[in-house]
Amino acid sequence: MAEAAIELIGIDKRFGAVRANRNIHLRVERGTIHGIVGENGAGKSTLMSIIYGFYQADRGEIRVGGRTAAITDPNAAIAAGIGMVHQHFMLVENLTVVENVMLGAERSAFLSSGIATVRKELKRLEADHGLDVDPDAIIEDLPVGLQQRVEILKALYRGADILILDEPTGVLTPSEADHLFAVLRQLREEGKTIILITHKLREIMAITDTVSVMRQGEMVATRPTAETSVAELAELMVGRRVLLTVDKGAPSPGAPLLTVKNLTVKDSRGVTMVDDVSFEVRAGEIVGIAGVAGNGQSELLEALSGIRRAERGRVVLCGRELDPAREGDPAEIRRIGCAHVPEDRHHMGLVLPFEENENAILGYQDDPRYRRGLLLDQDAMRRDARDKITAYDIRPADCRLKTANFSGGNQQKIVLAREMERDPDVLLIGQPTRGVDVGAIEFIHKRIVAMRDAGKAILLVSVELDEIRALSDRLLVMFAGRIVGERGPEASEGELGLLMAGVDDREAAE
């Protein structure tokens, strides 16, 4: 048996009445990529936070390199050779790459000398691992794929031999994910040990050597990856057979409920992100917009939901004609009958310090059902939140819990429940299953299809090609702010990939 890089023996952790980890035993061999999968709320992130010193276990032992390690905080974890790349990056956005890498790990009393040392070491790490990034770039100016590289460089700069990555591809494009996997394989070849937390089972099958499955706080199985399958892992995660394809019949489209004409939208820098776009979405159909992130999909959803003013164009929503260059009131858009699930749940969908029941009505707080005179009716809010928790299987089932304490997938369910349960005529939905486990993906897909079958018009944006092909009745592809082609769901991944790369529609069809 190969040497263990890290072992967990009998780890237990409670948060009040919630037992997040139950008698966890885990052995990760040195120089391997070890995947950990489980439903949202299964205890994966809690377990990794214990390894990294954010939390301390109530009971149990951690061994690093065969020796008991007292990991009381992240500094102790770093000293033990453990690094972590979090799902939501821990970077200071207005500092440069080199400043972020050295922050908390300054090796000189003189700042200029320290920066020079870090810059030299960064060049070596970048060359060794294919992690090129401009050391003088400001973090907020970098795309998420490069920000993630900075997080990996931070861990390697601090001497990590064991690297934990929590949902690392949740915010990456397919090409960025491919590059990340190439980096991880190279790190493995160099003897590094990788622990990979992900809900994407096909990624587990493609990149890992071993996979462990957690369910309801327990470690229920560990398998050599070559000896298992996506179907078996999904069943182990959820405790039942999971439908891995979208089950939907043919659409019965009706009249257009959303018509967009010659819409042009600029970003905060004045760059045109949506360029003269026209399309319509009819009652009883799902129209998907495919494309590599950053090609105008986000700005399109923001303009249609009233968050961002357009430069020009017309929108007809539920029979009412709007001028998006003049009318930009999200509350009015909601009153007309349009709900919006934003792509970024943390920055646009939730207020994380708020309780779950407060987020469950966000944007709808003026509804009379939640009011008692001038004040909010707390009892009505909590009753409504408990109903949504039950209907959407949100865990833990505690409407008084701070939203920041829910897993990413359960935070997503809070947003989906809030918007879908309003029974809108038009639903704008961005990245519906980002950071969501396989059981919740099945649930969310069924809800979206059910809304379509109830006669709703759904505009869906997703960077997951499998998802958008499975859900959509019609597919539009965006490149550089323009719609460059329309296809049916039977279109191949290769054909869509050409369109996403900007190849002319006619060329792609040949």
Tens of pLDDT, residue by residue over 434-476, are 777 777 888 899 999 999 999 999 999 998 888 899 999 999 9
Is pLDDT above 50 for 110?
no
pLDDT at 73 over 90: yes
* Of 210, 89, 85, 96, the residue nearest 160 (C-alpha): 85
pLDDT above 70 as % of the chain: 94
pLDDT on residue 174 = 67
Whether the ω angle into residue 143 lies within 30 degrees of 0, i.e. cis, is no
Lowest mean pLDDT, pick from 175-189, 394-408, 416-430, 491-505: 491-505
| pLDDT higher than 90, residue 507 | no
| Three-state DSSP state, 488 | coil
Reference 289, options 304, 270, 307; nearest CA is 304
**Which domains are assigned to the chain?**
4-238 (3.40.50.300), 243-337+424-510 (3.40.50.300), 351-422 (no CATH)
Which tokens in the block code for residue 288? Answer: 């998907």
Q: 502 with 296: CB under 8 angstroms? A: no
Q: With a cut of 70, say whether residue 115 has pLDDT above it.
A: yes
Terminal alpha carbon distance of the chain: 54
Instruction: Give 489-502 pLDDT, tens digit per residue.
Output: 888 878 887 888 78
Give the tokens for residue 328.
């930009």
Quote the pLDDT of residue 171: 66
CA-based nearest residue to 426, from 501, 291, 315, 265? 315
Residues above pLDDT 90, as percent of the chain: 61
- How would residue 244 be classed by pLDDT, with cut points 50, 70 and 90? low
AA identity, residue 158 = R
Instruction: List helix spans (H) across 190-281.
Output: 201-207, 230-238
Identify whether the C-beta of residue 275 lies closer than 8 Å to the C-beta of residue 296: yes
**Long-range contacts made by residues 178-185, C-beta under 8 angstroms, separation at least 24?**
179/130, 179/145, 180/145, 180/148, 181/206, 181/207, 182/130, 183/129, 183/130, 183/131, 183/152, 184/33, 185/33
* SS3 of 263-315: EEEECCCCCEEEEEEEEEEECCEEEEEECCCCCCHHHHHHHHCCCCCCCEEEE
Instruction: Give the integer Cα–Cα distance in Å for 452 and 426.
Output: 10
Query: What is the reported pTM?
Result: 0.70
Measured between alpha carbons, how far is 216 from 212 in angstroms, rounded to an integer?
Answer: 14
What band does 274 get if pLDDT is binned at 50, 70 and 90? very high
pLDDT digits (tens, 9 = 90+) for 179-237: 889 999 999 999 999 999 987 888 899 999 999 999 989 999 999 999 999 989 988 98
- The residue assigned the tokens 């991880």 is 184
Give residue 291's pLDDT: 87
Concatenating the DSSP letter of every residue in 396-439 gives S--TTSBGGGS-HHHHHHHHHHHHHTT--SEEEEESTTTT--HH
Find out whether 63 and 4 touch, Cβ atoms under 8 Å: yes
Longest dimension (CA), the chain: 69
- 């905060």: which residue's tokens? 268
pLDDT at 180: 87
Distance of CA 130 to the CA centre of its chain: 24
Three-state DSSP at 331 gives helix
Tokens coding 366: 């003026």
The vertex-97 CA angle with 91 and 102, nearest 5°, equals: 80
